[in-house]
Structure 1
Amino acid sequence: MGSGQSHSEELKSEKLSTPPPLEKDSPIVVVGAGTWGASTALYLGRRGYTNVVVLDPHPYPSPISAGNDVNKIAETISWRPSGGEEDDRVPVETHIAARTSEGWLNDPVFKPYYHDTGFIAAASTPDAYEFVKEHEITEDMSEYVPLAGTEFRQAMPEGVLTGEFPNWKGFWKKRGAGWVHACNAYVSAAEEAQRLGVRFLTGTPEGKVTGLLYGDNGDVVGVTTADGKEHRATRTIMTAGPYADQLLDFKDQLRPTAWTLAHIKMEPSELPLYKNLPVLFNVERGFFMEPDEEHHELKICDEHPGYTNFKGPCHDPAAESSGSIPFAKHQIPEASEQRVRNFLRETMPQLADRPFAFARICWCADTPDRRFLIDTHPDHPSLVLGVGGSGHGFAHITSIGGFIVDELEGRLEKRFKEAFRWRPETAVNRDWRDLQGRWGVERRVMDFGEVKEWTQVRDGRDY
């Protein structure tokens, strides 16, 4: 005990160090039914917990969840841990990727939604090309085909890539990467969790969490919802994504950051040509994958370090800034539209001027080092945190719930415990404009408060 700690503080500390015992029938509340909430619910159901409720103001698949999307980039790796000492010399990111790969390749809940079509990583300037070589080449170089300029056309059927690819250089990995149907995988996890007995209260005030409930000793004992009810719980799990910061002080460890996407409608006659395409990703321009089968739309994302919302929508101009506040919008800034179209002019100019069929902003929450935050809160031992997707959270839907439930059960491996720990010291004097290793035409973090014009896309859909 430090010299400044009173006896009462010591007793409180002792109380907080031992949360109530956790049994299979203990009430557990999961706050947030997005990607990580659905994955956590799945793993709780699989491990036999029988009194679990997931709360969210939106129905699943949530219209504001990053996982409610037609496709996401995914990559699998062949390395598997052996259990020997050599595992300790392998980066923790490789261990995470191995668990995630196992899910995409073998878990029946997720396997149907992974498409191994290949992956192309590219850049348009020398510095970004060096970044690609360092960060996107994950295995032996012999697994990759180098491409430059119009050589990129050879990676897809004739007539797809018709652009000149000015100053482009990159690599084509033909197998071991591709895309996943994000929304279908997300829904599959939630539906399997429900089949296993997990309850979802979503889409009504009954599911909107308005605050955490605290006991006399300061521990979290559940949540309150917008319908005025209290949901008491032995454990509360926070998987509210970029909205988590509105329910708990994360000491600046989370920065809600948004990206932008648009869809272009394809003609039925075009679909066979654009089937089973490898993912094309230029770290400075953007990326696209093949059109989805349901709506026949090609999704394109412009690449940039992200948008924040420190001074835009949802902020009271007369109040002090309350951080970057997420909000839902099925439009994108006009500047983003121009970046999408410029990307298409370099790759598929035949599509560059087609009207958008759909557009929206997509939120995530960045930690300072872009590692996940999965830990028991140091001041609230009954509160488990599962946040900080940092732009790559969805790809790990197959495994992330397992990590969170491991932490709940007190058996998270040491390597993950250290990587995912509560670490406010990393956010001291945080630079909210930090690019965090991201590239893009706009080499800066932008803010929605700067946006003057938005697109006017009419789609009438909820996803």
Structure 2
Amino acid sequence: MTVSKSSSLLIIGAGTWGSSTALHLARRGYTNVTVLDPYPVPSAISAGNDVNKIISSGQYSTNKDEIEINDLLARQAFEGWNNDPLFKPYYHDTGLLMSACTSAGLDRLGVKVRPEDDSNLVELSKPEDFRQLAPSGVLRGDFPNWRGYFHRSGAGWAHARNALVAAVKEAQRLGVKFVTGTPQGKVITLIFENNDVKGAVTADGKIWRAEQTFMCAGASAGQFLDFKQQLRPTAWTLVHIALSPEERAFYKNLPVIFNIEKGFFFEPDEENGEIKICDEHPGYTNMKKSADGTPQSIPFERTQVPKESEARVRALLSETMPQLANRPFSFARICWCADTPNREFIIDRHPHHPSLILGCGASGRGFKYLPSIGGIIVDALEGKVPQKIHDLVKWDPEIGKNRNWKDTLGRFGGPNRVMDFHDVKEWTNIRPRDISKL
């Protein structure tokens, strides 16, 4: 299919992958690019609209070929965080602890640390090992049964919201048009013509015709297209604790502390002086029946978390930083992503709608690819995705057949099962905060 630099290109979604796609299209010289999103940028429902996101070169596959490809994709992203002037200011190379408490969790970590082989990795097995990762008095907990390994460098966190806004502003500077907010940016349907997609219609009735359309709507993508059960919108939970100005300096340079059965937290951000904590679990869904009876999970915005999540966060803090375990939360929200059955991405030209490019299925690990993922999505437009990568991220309805909607996908934490928001009895009551303004 012939695509010129002046072809009309429409991106559905201004989250992490939609914004990255817009940026890479503009950097490659495409001059007629429009992005639609129902929320002001950064979107209040985008997983990328956050303070901290873990950045590392870790991968999630077990197959040898898949490991090789995911390592390549992770290196491309890490190159962007380290060397792209647009993203470099937002990356903090603080180091990263990966840990677990049970034999199953340790097996999932999958790393046998030998200091003589990699001096960047340090094995930790005693409480004092963990306490020494931060300035004296920060990590005061007993770390019961914790074991793991610490990346001294080459891992840390990025200020997600600021990096996402930087990508959007640069795309705008290069000529990309962002139409956001409701009704003007809220897509209500794709335009299907002759077994193809020719753009979208927004809630204000405007018809946006395009020669090529990119579906980058994150957890909402399944509301516009039948993904043959390849996507399951899944939510995670996060809270913030505000520190005093004196405390902020004390906790600065804390490495990312991640226990794959308990949760993770970061050093305080420089703008608000807040520590972000996430309780780890296989995720929440919001399951409903579609018109044809197929189960689907529908994402929604909420700046609160279930009280059971609060209890898990406080349990994590009691084991690591007990001095903060009873502090009030200054902010909380649920954070949506879309899981594929194998946790691999879907980046492909749709086989039955040849003018539709898919950039979906971030599977809870998509943000760290912000600097580079748009390049692969544009490669799909241009037919340049290397065959090995294509085979891993292609449209593949076979993986969705007879899908187990409760599959934990190898995740641990909480009750060690996928939960559903319909079963939540009580939520926190924390003062809301507008996080959607550019």
TM bucket (normalised to shorter chain) is over 0.9
Aligned counterpart for 2:140 among listed residues 162, 185, 198: 162
- Structure 2 counterpart of 1:453, which letter? E
Alpha-carbon shift at residue 437 of structure 1 (Å): 1.0
User: Which of residues 114, 124, 148 is equivalent to 1:147?
Assistant: 124
The Cα of 1:90 is off from its aligned counterpart by 7.0
How far is the alpha carbon of 1:384 from its aligned partner? Answer: 0.3
- For residues 108-119 of structure 1, the aligned pairs below 5 Å read 108-119=85-96
How far does residue 91 in structure 1 lie from its aligned partner after superposition?
1.1
Q: Would the aligned equivalents of 1:208 and 1:226 in 2 still touch at CA under 8 Å? A: yes
For 1:460, the aligned partner's letter is R
For residues 56 and 147 of structure 1, the distance between their equivalents in structure 2, rounded to whole angstroms, comes to 44
DSSP 3-state at the match of 1:276 = coil
Aligned-partner Cα distance in 2 for 1:76–1:389:
16
Give 1:63's aligned residue: 44
Contact kept, 8 Å, 2:36 with 2:179, in 1: the verdict is yes
Whole-angstrom distance in 1 between the partners of 2:385 and 2:243? 46
Q: Which residue of the partner structure matches residue 41 of structure 1?
A: 22
Are 2:316 and 1:335 aligned? no
- Residue of structure 2 aligned with 1:274, choices 246, 251, 255: 251
> Aligned partners of 1:282 and 1:214: how far apart in 2?
45
Aligned-partner residue type, residue 135 of structure 2: P
- Distance across 1 between alignment mates of 2:20 and 2:287: 30
Show structure 1 runs of 4+ deviating over 3 A. Answer: 87-90, 133-137, 139-142, 318-322
Deviations 1:366-419 (A, max 9, x none): 001000000011110000000000000001011100000000011111111111
- The answer to whether the 8 A contact 2:10-2:34 is kept is yes
Query: Could you tell me which amino acid in structure 2 is paired with residue 347 of structure 1?
Result: T
Could you tell me which of 390, 406, 417 is aligned with 1:417? 390
Alpha-carbon contact 1:121-1:136 (below 8 Å) kept:
no
Distance across 2 between alignment mates of 1:26 and 1:461:
36
Matches within 5 A, 1:30-429: 30-76=11-57, 91-134=68-111, 140-150=117-127, 151-215=129-193, 217-311=194-288, 322-429=295-402
Shift of 1:425: 0.2
Q: Determine the C-alpha separation between the residues in 2 that align with 1:369 and 1:174.
A: 30
AA aligned opposite 1:47 = R
In 2 relative to 1, CA 240–292 (structure 1 residues): closer, same or farther, beyond 3 Å?
Answer: same
Q: Supply the distance in 2 between the matched residues of 1:265 and 1:342 (Cα, whole angstroms).
A: 18
**Alpha-carbon shift at residue 295 of structure 1 (Å):** 1.2
- AA at the equivalent of 1:57: P
Shift of 1:257: 0.2
Deviation at 1:321, TM superposition (A): 6.3
Whole-angstrom CA distance in 2 between matches of 1:429 and 1:171: 37
Cα drift, residue 76 of structure 1 = 4.3
Aligned counterpart, 1:444? 417
State whether residues 17 and 216 of structure 2, in contact with CA within 8 Å, keep that contact through their aligned partners in structure 1. Answer: yes
Assess if the C-alpha contact under 8 Å between 1:221 and 1:382 holds in 2. yes
Q: Secondary structure at the match of 2:251?
A: coil
RMSD, aligned α-carbons: 2.1
Give the Å deviation of 1:168: 0.7
| Helix, strand or coil at the partner of 2:145 | coil
Separation of aligned partners in 2, 1:142 and 1:210:
53
Q: Deviations over 1:204-224 (max 9, x none)?
A: 311111111122x22111111
Question: Match of 2:245, as an amino acid?
Answer: P
Check 1:136–1:114 CA distance in 2 against 1; reply closer, same or farther (3 A cut): farther
Amino acid at match of 1:333: P
Contact 1:149–1:164, Cα closer than 8 Å, also in 2: no
CA distance in 1, matches of 2:330, 2:248: 16
Q: Distance in 2 between the 1:90 and 1:149 partners? A: 30
For normalisation by structure 2, the TM-score amounts to 0.94
Shift of 1:461: 3.2
SS at match of 1:54: strand
Matched-pair contact (CA < 8 Å) for 1:310–1:321: no
In the TM superposition, residue 141 of structure 1 has moved relative to its aligned partner by 4.4
- 2:143 & 2:304 partners in 1: Cα distance? 28
Measure the CA separation in 1 of the matches of 2:91 and 2:117.
Answer: 23
Per the alignment, residue 3 of structure 1 pairs with none
- The answer to whether the 8 Å contact 1:237/1:383 transfers is yes
Residue equivalent to 2:429: 456
Shift in Å, 1:146: 1.5
Deviation at 1:144, TM superposition (A): 1.4
Counterpart of 1:26, as a letter, is S
Could you tell me which amino acid in structure 2 is paired with residue 323 of structure 1?
Q
Q: Quick check: 2:66–2:392 contact (8 Å CA) kept in 1?
A: no
Write the distance in 1 (CA, Å) between the matches of 2:287 and 2:192.
29
Q: Separation in 2 of the partners of 1:357 and 1:127?
A: 34
Report the count of equivalent residues: 430
Q: What amino acid maps onto 2:130 in structure 1?
A: F
- Structure 2: any 5+ residue segments left out of the alignment? 59-63
